[in-house]
């Protein structure tokens, strides 16, 4: 975001924020329009506690199921996901349909030309390109740790930036 000079007033949504520490880092960096959602009320409560402890007041938090987001959740310049698409993909109950719903929700909440940053330890770069092939194009691959095994090398984590077309 720094490299591409994303303005500090860009609206940022952290999908499945967990303990909210990503929001804290963004706010400390200077981002002024930052929202975190999680479907777990206890995760949102934990984020709230951490944000208060950090003395930050301008972070928005909402309990929301991203697979069924409220209409108010829209118009974001940037959406960030670290581990939430993975968690949704591991749902034993109709994960294929849930992944489809996720892509639909993302299309709804992100502005045209907006960026989607995803970090996954469940899917490879190629699989993510396939999952987000409709309505999104790869903008950049972010560096992640590499490992070698049996003469071949790979990444244990994929981190990609997509742009909504």
Ligand X SMILES: C[S@@+](CC[C@H](N)C(=O)[O-])C[C@H]1O[C@@H](n2cnc3c(N)ncnc32)[C@H](O)[C@@H]1O
Of 91 and 165, CB closest to ligand X: 91
Of 10 and 73, CB closest to ligand X: 73
**119 and 81 Cβ atoms separated by less than 8 Å:** yes
Q: Taking CB under 6 A as the rule, does residue 117 contact ligand X? A: no
Q: How far apart are CA 77 and CA 7, in angstroms?
A: 10
CA 39 → CA 28, 59, 131, distances in Å? 24, 17, 22
Q: Which stretch binds ligand X (CB under 6 A): 5-13, 31-39, 109-117, 154-162?
A: 31-39
Q: How far apart are CA 152 and CA 148, in angstroms?
A: 5
Of 66 and 116, CB closest to ligand X: 66
Choosing from 17, 35, 47, 120, the residue that interacts with ligand X (CB under 6 A) is 17
Q: How far apart are CA 159 and CA 109, in angstroms?
A: 20
Least separation in angstroms between CB 19 and ligand X: 6
**36 and 23 Cβ atoms separated by less than 8 Å:** yes
Q: Taking CB under 6 A as the rule, does residue 36 contact ligand X? A: no
Least separation in angstroms between CB 148 and ligand X: 26
Per CB under 6 A, residues contacting ligand X are 16-18, 37-40, 43, 65-67, 82-84, 87-88
């Amino acid at each position: 975001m720094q490299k591409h000079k994303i303005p500090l007033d860009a609206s940022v949504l952290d999908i499945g924020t967990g303990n909210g520490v990503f929001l804290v880092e963004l706010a400390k960096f200077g981002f002024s329009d930052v929202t975190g959602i999680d479907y777990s009320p206890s995760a949102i409560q934990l984020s709230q506690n951490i944000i208060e402890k950090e003395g930050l007041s301008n972070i928005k938090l909402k309990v929301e199921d991203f697979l069924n987001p409220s209409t108010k959740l829209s118009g974001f310049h940037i959406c960030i996901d670290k581990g939430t698409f993975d968690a949704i993909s591991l749902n034993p109950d109709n994960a294929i349909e849930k992944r489809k719903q996720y892509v639909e929700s993302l299309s709804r909440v992100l502005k045209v030309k907006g960026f989607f940053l995803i970090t996954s330890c469940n899917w490879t770069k190629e699989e993510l390109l396939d999952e987000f092939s409709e309505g999104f194009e790869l903008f950049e691959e972010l560096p992640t740790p590499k490992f070698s095994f049996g003469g071949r090398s790979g990444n244990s984590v994929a981190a990609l930036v997509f742009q909504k077309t």
